[in-house]
Structure 1
Amino acid sequence: MDIPVSAWTSELFGSEEKARIVRDRIGQGLVDMQANAQTSHVEAAVSSTQVHGVARYRGGYERVSAALKSIPGAELVKPNGFQFDLVRVGNALLYPFCFSKKDSNVRTAKIQNVWSVIRELFAFAPPSQQADIFGEYEFDPSSVELRPKLAALPKDTRLVLVPFACNAAGLLKPYWGVAALANDSGSLDWIIDPEPLPLPASPTPKLGIPQQQTEHPGFDEGEQPIVALAPRPQADRKRDVTPTTEAPPTEPLVNEDDEN
C-alpha cells in the first residue's frame, strides 16, 4: 500500500517525489541499522546488550547518511566537533536519534544529552511555543552562536527530527517531524506532529564473499602433464635404425678452420 507524503515534507524537500524518496531511504537506513546491530549482538555471544547499543548508536547516523547521500542534491554536513555526518536534502537537515528502548509515545520523546552541537542544531528549528509561567522561553534559537560548518548552511534550513524506538529485539517505532527544543533538559515542543515512517520488509542485501577452497591437493596429486610423442620416420623403421633418444654430442672446435 502506497502511503502518501504530507504537504510539509513536499515543501521542505522540493517535491512530493523527492519527499517520498527521502522517506523511503530513511526507513531503509534504519532497517539496515537494526539488522547490523542485531548481527553484532548475536555474534558477540554475550548476555549484555551493550554491543547492540553501540552498533545502533553509530548506525543511526552512518546507515541513514549512507542511504541518503546518493539522492541528487543531498549534502553531507559534519558539524565541527561532531563525529558523524548529517544529511541536508532540499531545505531539511535530518537528525536521527533513539528516543526509547520500549514502545513509548513519541510525543514524550526527549533529547538525552543537550550539549553544544545539539543546541546549535535546534537553531534551525522554530522557536518553542511553550513559555513558562512568566511568559519566557528557556531556549531561544536565535541566540545560539553557530560553529563554522553549521553557520555556512542556508538560512532557510529546517531541522527535521527522526526519532525512533529501538532495542535488541527489534526496531519499534520510527517517526519524523519538526520540533523545537523547549528547555535544556531535552524536552521537545512538536511544531509539526511526528508521523510514522513506513519501513521496508528486509535490510539491504550485503555483498557476500565468494566461497573459498579450503583444501588443496598435494604436489604429487595433481594431473599428470601430457607429453607429446614424435613418431619415428617410416624409413628408419624399415631399415631397423636404432632410435635416437638424445641429440648426438657436438665435438668442440680446436680452431676456426675446423668449421670448414
Structure 2
Amino acid sequence: MEIPVSAWASELFGSEEKALLVRDRLGQGLVDMQANAQASHLEADVASTQVHGVVRYLGGYERVSAALESIPGAELVKPNGFRFELVRVENALLYPFCFSKKDSNVRTAKIQNVWSVIRELFAFAPPSQQADIFGEFEFDPSSVELRPKLAALPKDTRLVLVPFACNAAGLLKPYWGVAALANASGKLDWIIDPEPLPLPAAATLKHGIPQQKTDHHPGFDEGEQPIVALSPRPEADHKLKVTPTTEVPPTEPLANEDDEN
C-alpha cells in the first residue's frame, strides 16, 4: 500500500500526484547513489571507505538530479560558485545532504559546513523559531544577499531538505522536510517534521565500460621516415682534396687555469 504524501508536499509541488512522483524519484536517486558508491568501493578493493565517501558525496547531487530532471516543470539550478546542480520542482528547491554515517535521529541533523552558498539556500527557508537566551535570532534569512542565479528564483521558492544517514554498508534513514537554519554552527530548527522517504527495492544504474575508440593508431615503426637535409661540400674543397669532416672541430680555449691572473 502506497504511503500518501503530506499536505505540505502537495502544496509545494503543485499536486499530490507530482509530490508522489518527486518523492519516488528522490528515493530512487538516493538508492542509485548508494549502489554506485558501493560498487566503486568494491572495485577499488581497499580497506579505507574513502572511495565510498567521495562517490557518495558526488552522487548525492548528481544521481538525485538525474532522477528528478525529467519531471515536468523541473529546473536545474546551479548557484554561482557551487559545484553541483540542485533541482527546483514547482515551488520547492531540493537540497540533499548526508547528516550521519550511523543510525542517528534526524532531529539532531546539522549542516556540517555553513558557508556562503548554504546560508543563501536557507534564505528560502522560514525564519527560525528558536531564539537564544536574549530573545534574539542568530540567523536572519531576510538579511542574506543572494548571488545572481539564486536571486533569479521566484520569491515563493521554499527550500526542502533531504537529509539521509549513509555509510559503506548501507543507506540508512532518508527523509525530507522543511527546516530553518538556527545558527552558524549548522543547527536546524525543523518547521515541518522530517518524514521518511520510501525507497525502491533496486537501483537503476547502467553498468558498463565507456565505448573506446577503435581507430588504428600507427606504431613507432610505421611512421613516415624523416627527411635529413644534406649539405654538399664546397667545390673548392674538391679541388684542394680537403678531407671531409663529419664533426665540428673542437674550439681551443683562449685561456686555461694555468694562466696567470
Identify the TM-score tier after normalising by the shorter chain.
0.7 to 0.9
> 2: distance between equivalents of 1:76 and 1:96?
14
Q: 1:205 to 1:55 in 2, by over 3 A?
A: closer
1:132 aligns with 2:132: yes
Secondary structure of 1:191's counterpart equals strand
Tell me by how many angstroms 1:206 deviates. 1.4
Match in the other structure for 1:20: 20
Match in the other structure for 1:118: 118
1:79 aligns with 2:82: no
Report sequence identity in percent.
Answer: 90
TM-score (norm 2): 0.79
Match in the other structure for 1:43: 43
> Which stretch shifts more, 127-136 or 199-208?
199-208
> 1: distance between equivalents of 2:99 and 2:69?
24
Match in the other structure for 1:166: 166
Q: Which runs of 5+ in 2 are unaligned?
A: 211-261
Tell me by how many angstroms 1:209 deviates. 6.2
Tell me by how many angstroms 1:208 deviates. 4.6
Letter in 2 for 1:161: L
> 2: distance between equivalents of 1:75 and 1:184?
29
Letter in 2 for 1:51: V
Match in the other structure for 1:150: 150
Match in the other structure for 1:192: 192
> 1: distance between equivalents of 2:48 and 2:129?
41
> 1: distance between equivalents of 2:133 and 2:60?
37
Letter in 1 for 2:65: S
TM-score (norm 1): 0.80
Secondary structure of 2:47's counterpart equals coil
Q: 1:198 to 1:14 in 2, by over 3 A?
A: same
Q: Which has the larger radius of gyration?
A: 1
Moved over 6 A (4+): none
Letter in 1 for 2:117: V
> 1: distance between equivalents of 2:178 and 2:42?
35
Secondary structure of 1:146's counterpart equals coil
Letter in 2 for 1:33: M
Letter in 2 for 1:86: L
1:68 aligns with 2:76: no
Aligned-CA RMSD value = 1.3
Q: 1:102 to 1:28 in 2, by over 3 A?
A: same
> 2: distance between equivalents of 1:207 and 1:197?
25
> 2: distance between equivalents of 1:42 and 1:207?
14
> 2: distance between equivalents of 1:128 and 1:155?
18
* Number of residues of Structure 1 aligned to a counterpart in Structure 2: 211
Match in the other structure for 1:258: none
> 1: distance between equivalents of 2:189 and 2:155?
21
> 2: distance between equivalents of 1:47 and 1:208?
24
Secondary structure of 1:96's counterpart equals strand
> Which stretch shifts more, 115-124 or 201-210?
201-210
> 1: distance between equivalents of 2:66 and 2:136?
40
